Chain A
Amino acid sequence: MNGTGAAKSKRQSYDGVVATVPVTVPYQRYSIESGQWWIGRALRALADGAGISHRDFDGFSVASFSIAPDSAVGLTQHFGLSPRWLDTIPMGGVSGILSLRRAARAVQAGDADIVACVAGDTNHVDTFRKTLSNFSRFAQDAVYPYGAGGPNASFALIARNYMKQFGARREDFGKLCVAQRDNALRNPHALMKKPLTLDQYLAARPIAEPIHLFDCVMPCAGAEAFLVMREETARALALPAAKILSTIERHNAFAEDPIQVRGGWAQDAGELYAMAGIAPADIDVVQTYDDYPVISMMQFEDLGFCEKGEGPDFVRKHSFTINGSFPHNTSGGQLSVGQAGAAGGHLGIVECMRQVIKIAGPTQIDGARIGLASGFGMINYDRGLSAGAVIFAGDRA
């Protein structure tokens, strides 16, 4: 990787930078509104939550699949913002982590004081189909024409391979889905309101074997957002905040693996924990990117909670519920809350902030001091290319 032979530079800490005002605009299965409308609602909620005007946001970072033909610049005029720092992160499920990372450095360097990180997408009746067919050049040339099964078919192949190689069973994936549904029943914003049993999970109709109905997220409309600012700014505004202990991102890792069995986390997790000065066992609550349960299982391994191949056993040992062992995807995750386009990559971050700030309300776990949230995304061809993670700590951590 480091072909120059020079030592890899040491990551600087995020000391003095915090994330605050976690915001969710409640999801809808379908919406007749535009992507801009959902982003507008999130900006309003951020301003209300911070008790300041949106014109005080001097940094703006946006992630969305449904703002075309607008760019981030167009949105500044649309919303009456005049930022001195502007970013757009068109990277799906990893956009939340990337947005946070970039915003944190901008604040640290003094390029901006208050950055609004917003992800929002609408979901018209035909949005999902259009996104699929235009997702990437490789998808257009070499995936979509092969049955147009979308991510379900792509992850079916990854899940098949993982089950074969590491002995995971459908029951193991089902356990994660059922636990997340239990958690979601406490979350008033979750689109899935009915309990789910393992029997129901196993009996569901096939979508693309071994993926069945309850392995899939429901595409929907919604928005998630947060603010990044200096600790002293948050204190002056009396905003409870989450410290950013460490973050990582990695793209197109392990290209030599014939079929994806690990994500980029496996390459950088060591640095993630070293920078935070903690070990995996110190994490109190985990929000993985759960577009499919097999990806969550992979993350338990890649983020160091167990060894590669031990994911299925790890799942058999824990309950993953709010009151149980290894609380995981406490909001219900995308599997039970819904996947609001690019906001899907922010859902876990926002929930993780709430947990360590201890404002999660009905989904709050006891003793949440340190939390980890991850992002994953961009099935460009045969695998998810982008991986990212953040470790947050509450004030008293």
Chain B
Amino acid sequence: MSKPIAKPKRKNPLERTREPLLPPAPRSRTAHGLTRAAAEGRFAIQRCAECHAFTYPPRDACPRCLSDRLPFVDAPTGGVLAALTTVHVTADSYFRERLPWRTGIVTLDCGPQAIAHVHGDCAEGERVNMSLQLDRGGQAALFANPISRTPDMQDDLQWREMTADPNQRRVLITDGRNPVGQALAKTLAEAGAREIFVGVGEQWKPFPNEEALRQIGGVKIVPLDLTDERSVADLATDIGAKVDILINTTDHIRPGHLFDAGATLRIGETMEQTLFGAMRLARAFAPVMIARGADGRHGAAAWVNLLSVHALANLPALGSLSVSHAACLSLSHWLRAELARGGVKLMNAFSGPLDTEWFQTLPPPKVAPAALATAVVDGLRRGLEEVYVGDVANDIKTRLTANPKALEREIGQ
């Protein structure tokens, strides 16, 4: 049975903060087929396109027929934990700090034998449910879980290394005026977040549902204006070392045509708010998060960006938002590489138009702020890197994979 995570004790200021260490990172290029699936929360291994046999570990030729057509495809997640061991001695410093460590060999229902991390509630000889997780080094790893929920199973320490569960963690949400920010505060409180800092600029200006936001357990309204370098730096000085999960909810949606008078100015304003805002945030908060990647067992864990799915494919009706979020997406890849040093994950949650006033002119389907908040918390609990929320986001993603040129032509019509 998993032990529930207790509220972490106040940190002894005389104690040295643990340096973040990472599990072994080298992988073959082929093995990164697993990374892609893990980032999206899918369980995919190679299956021969000629003889249809599943194979693992990742190979460059099928051991049954020597075909080199070995795509990673979604595979059945069931298996049996054939043998289990608990490692007490290891050659690696990351694991050494986290011993004992359970690993086992799972006979997958689809055939191959898989060495995997094993959840504390799995017993030898029993059925398990496999998933692909991103470990603290950002590399894909197979994880064996119990087939049905067990009490507090999400608090298993090995599982927690693979995830960014908000339970007992402290979160910063950058924009409390945004209905998504408000929904996130509520969902995170329900998920057990210990403290929820919510940024609000120019606090003397009232905003809808302000009182409800202040009533949520653990919420603290803090001053934050992403367009102001000083404001961001001041907040980081104040609470930077307490932020385990940072969720950037800032957006800036102004419809308009490319040839409108003042369009350049408008894009500039959007960029100032979103791209440069994110950059100020990263420069102020990310270094502390990287340093705190192993601060206790529940230190800094994740950075989350909420992005429009039109960062991937420009929607003319929301041209400037699409441009600015495309830039934010590129920045997120830069930031992900930096955060990796501390074992801190970066998750991008892509959504279509939200059910909020700035998207008023766009047709349904739309994403309710509460649905986006739920998807973000789910992504953190599962340790994902990419989340697509709602029908529009999934539609764009699928069409982009199928034929980006067709999408480009059709999206403007």
Residues of A that sit less than 8 Å from B by CB: 128-129, 132-133, 137-138, 140-150, 152-153, 156-158, 160-161, 164, 205-211, 255, 258-259, 381-382
- Chain A proximity mask over B101-138: 1 for CB below 8 Å, otherwise 0: 11111010000011111000000100000000001010
Q: Decide: B91 and A142 in contact? CB cutoff 8 A.
A: no
Q: Which residue of B lies closest to A206 (CB)?
A: B88
Residues of A within 8 A of B88 (CB): 205-209
Residues of A within 8 A of B142 (CB): 146
Q: Given A133-B24, A141-B57, is A146 in contact with B86 using a C-beta cutoff of 8 Å?
A: no
A314 to B92, CA, bound (A): 38
Residues of A within 8 A of B63 (CB): 255
Q: Decide: B83 and A133 in contact? CB cutoff 8 A.
A: no
Residues of B within 8 A of A156 (CB): 83, 85, 87
Nearest CB in chain A: distance from B86 CB, A: 5
Selected from A133, A145, A205, A259, the residue in CB contact (under 8 A) with B105 is A259
A148 to B90, CA, bound (A): 5
Nearest CB in chain B: distance from A298 CB, A: 15
Selected from A133, A142, A145, A209, the residue in CB contact (under 8 A) with B85 is A209
Q: Which residue of B lies closest to A157 (CB)?
A: B83
Nearest CB in chain B: distance from A124 CB, A: 14
A157 to B102, CA, bound (A): 11
Q: Decide: A147 and B101 in contact? CB cutoff 8 A.
A: yes
Nearest CB in chain A: distance from B286 CB, A: 25
A128 to B116, CA, bound (A): 23
Q: Decide: B113 and A259 in contact? CB cutoff 8 A.
A: yes
Q: Decide: B87 and A147 in contact? CB cutoff 8 A.
A: yes
Q: In the complex, given contacts A141-B58, A145-B25, A255-B63, what are 13 additional A-B residue pairs having Cβ atoms less than 8 angstroms apart? A: A129-B92, A133-B26, A133-B92, A137-B28, A141-B57, A146-B116, A148-B23, A156-B85, A157-B84, A160-B124, A161-B83, A207-B89, A209-B86
Q: Decide: B115 and A152 in contact? CB cutoff 8 A.
A: no
Residues of A within 8 A of B114 (CB): 142
A152 to B116, CA, bound (A): 15
4 tightest A-B CB contacts, nearest first: A148-B92, A156-B85, A142-B57, A149-B87
Residues of A within 8 A of B92 (CB): 129, 133, 144, 147-148
Q: List 25 A-B contacts (CB under 8 A).
A: A132-B91, A138-B57, A140-B24, A141-B57, A142-B58, A146-B142, A148-B23, A148-B24, A148-B91, A148-B92, A149-B89, A149-B101, A149-B103, A150-B90, A153-B85, A153-B87, A156-B85, A156-B87, A206-B88, A208-B86, A208-B89, A211-B85, A259-B113, A382-B105, A382-B115
A152 to B103, CA, bound (A): 12
Residues of A within 8 A of B95 (CB): 147-148
Q: Given A157-B104, A157-B105, A258-B107, is A143 in contact with B115 using a C-beta cutoff of 8 Å?
A: yes
Judged by a CB distance under 8 angstroms, whether B409 is at the interface is no
Q: How many residues on the B side are at the interface (Cβ–Cβ under 8 A)?
A: 40
Q: Decide: B89 and A133 in contact? CB cutoff 8 A.
A: no
Q: Decide: B84 and A145 in contact? CB cutoff 8 A.
A: no
Residues of B within 8 A of A147 (CB): 87, 90, 92, 95, 101-103, 117
A153 to B118, CA, bound (A): 13
Q: Decide: B82 and A161 in contact? CB cutoff 8 A.
A: yes
Q: Which residue of A lies closest to B26 (CB)?
A: A140
Judged by a CB distance under 8 angstroms, whether B400 is at the interface is no
Q: Decide: A150 and B91 in contact? CB cutoff 8 A.
A: yes
Judged by a CB distance under 8 angstroms, whether B31 is at the interface is yes
Q: Which residue of B lies closest to A133 (CB)?
A: B24
A382 to B102, CA, bound (A): 16
Residues of B within 8 A of A140 (CB): 24, 26-28
A132 to B25, CA, bound (A): 14
Nearest CB in chain A: distance from B75 CB, A: 15
Residues of B within 8 A of A138 (CB): 57
CB contacts under 8 Å to A, within B131-159, are 135, 137, 139, 141-142
A246 to B319, CA, bound (A): 78
A240 to B102, CA, bound (A): 52
Selected from B25, B31, B82, B117, the residue in CB contact (under 8 A) with A258 is B82
Residues of B within 8 A of A210 (CB): 85
